[in-house]
Amino acid sequence: MKLEGFELRRVAMPLVSPFRTSFSTQTERDILLVRAVTDEGEGWGECVTLPDPLYSPEYADGAVDVMKRFFIPALAAAGVSDAPGVGHALYPYKGHRMAKAALEMAVLDAELRAEGRSFARELGSVHSSVPCGVSVGIMNSIPELLDAVGGYLDAGYVRIKLKIEPGWDIEAVRAVREKFGDDVLLQVDANTAYTLRDARHLARLDDFDLLLIEQPLEEEDILGHAELAKIVKTPICLDESITSAQTAAAAIRLGATQVINIKPGRVGGYLEARRIHDIAAANGIAVWCGGMLESGIGRAANVALASLPGFTLPGDVSASDRFYRTDITAPFVMKDGHLDVPAGPGLGVSPIQEVLDELTTSVEWVHI
C-alpha cells in the first residue's frame, strides 16, 4: 500500500446538551478528521483533541500544525506503508499522542479496508457487542442530575459515570444512590480536580459502593494516587496519568491504580492501547474504554477496542444520540444496553458525504 496524502477536515458537531466537567463546558465538538488516501483506497481517523489544552497539553489547531509541519513529512520520508510504520516513524517526536493516534488510525483503517479485515478482528476482539456506559456531566442542581440519570437508565445504559469536582461530589452521589438504589453500576470521574489533602473527603465516597474513582489527582501525581489507594477503599482508576504502556506498567507496579481507563487518542493510538490492555491483563488489572465525545468514526474504533477480552467493565461507548442528534456516519443505536461491534472491512463505517459536507468548516490536503 502506498500513501498518497492526507486530508485534514474540521467538522463542527453541536451537542444535544452542554457537557460540563471539572475543567470545561462543551456545547459543540470541533472535530478533526483525518483521511488517508492510498493507491488502494482510503481510511479514516479521528483526532480527539479539544479546542483548548485543558484535558491534555494538546489542542485541535496544534494537532493540525504538527501533522502538517512534522508528522506527515516524516511519514513520507520513511516511506510508511502500514500502521505499525506510523509509530516507528513518529517515535522520535515527543508528545502529540492524539495527533499520532489519528494518523495511525487512518492508515490502519485504509490498510484493513484494502485487505478486507475488520478493526475488531485486527485488535483481537472476542465479543460481537459491548455494554454501554454513559458519562453524566456536572449539572446545575441535584434534581436536574436525577432527571438525567433516570433518563439514561430508562434508555438502557448499564453503567452510570458521574463527573465530580469539589462542591459537587458526595451529595450528588448520595442523591443518585438513594434515588436509584444499590444495583446501579455507578462510578465517578474527577478529571484531576482534587489533591491528596482531599483524601479523607474522597474516602467518604466509600459509603456508596462505587465501581471506581477515576483520576482524582493531577496526572503527574502517580505517588499521590498510590498513597490515596491506601486511604480509600474504592478502587482508583487512572485516566490522564496513563499515556503509554510504559506509564501503565509503572502505575501498576507502584500500586497507584486498580483499574485503567484506556483512551486510544491519549496513549498514541489503538496499537498502543492494545499493548496497555495486554499489560493490564497480565497483572490482573481491569480496563475499560474511555470516550472523548467521538463521532461515529471514533466510536466505531472504540467499540472494536472495547470488545477485547480484558475490557471487563462497561466503557464510555454510548449510542450516537447521547451526544449528537445527527452523526456523520450511520448512527450507533443501543440494543438491550449494548452496541454491536462493526464487522465490515476496516472501521466498518464510513462518513455520509452529505452530512459531512454540511458540518465541515475547513478542509486541507497534504500531499506525500
**CATH code for the domain in which residue 217 is found:** 3.20.20.120
Per-residue confidence (pLDDT) for residue 271, from 0 to 100: 98
- Note whether 149 and 214 are same-domain residues: yes
Q: What is the pTM of this model?
A: 0.96
Task: Answer whether residue 145 is part of any domain.
Answer: yes
- The verdict on 167 and 188 lying in the same domain is yes
- Which grid coordinates belong to 33? 478528521
Q: Considering the domain boundaries, does residue 56 fall inside one?
A: yes
User: Distance from CA of residue 221 to its chain's centroid?
Assistant: 21
Say whether both 62 and 147 belong to one domain. no
Average pLDDT by stretches of 10, the chain with 368 residues: 97 93 91 98 97 94 98 97 97 98 98 98 98 96 98 97 98 98 97 98 98 98 98 98 98 98 98 98 98 97 98 96 96 97 98 97 96
Q: For residues 53 and 300, give the distance between their C-alpha atoms in angstroms, rounded to a whole number.
A: 25
Total number of residues shown for the chain? 368
Q: What is the DSSP letter of 78?
A: H
Cα 34 to Cα 47: distance, rounded to the nearest angstrom: 7
The confidence score (pLDDT) of residue 66 equals 98
In this structure, what are the phi and psi dihedrals at residue 211, rounded to the nearest 5 degrees?
-65, -40
- Write down the pLDDT at residue 23: 85
Furthest-apart CA pair in the chain: how many Å? 60
Determine the pLDDT at residue 316.
96
- DSSP designation for 300: H
Q: Which of 115, 119, 127 is nearest to 46 (CA)?
A: 119
Q: Check residue 22 and give its pLDDT.
A: 86
Three-state DSSP class for residue 298:
helix
74 and 216 co-located in one domain:
no
Domain containing residue 222: 121-340
Quote the number of domains for the chain.
2
User: Tell me, what's the pLDDT at 361?
Assistant: 98
Query: In this structure, is residue 140 part of a structural domain?
Result: yes
Residues 251 and 297 in one domain: yes
Catalytic residues: 163, 263
Domain contains 345: no
Residue 326 falls inside a structural domain: yes
Residue 79: what pLDDT? Answer: 97
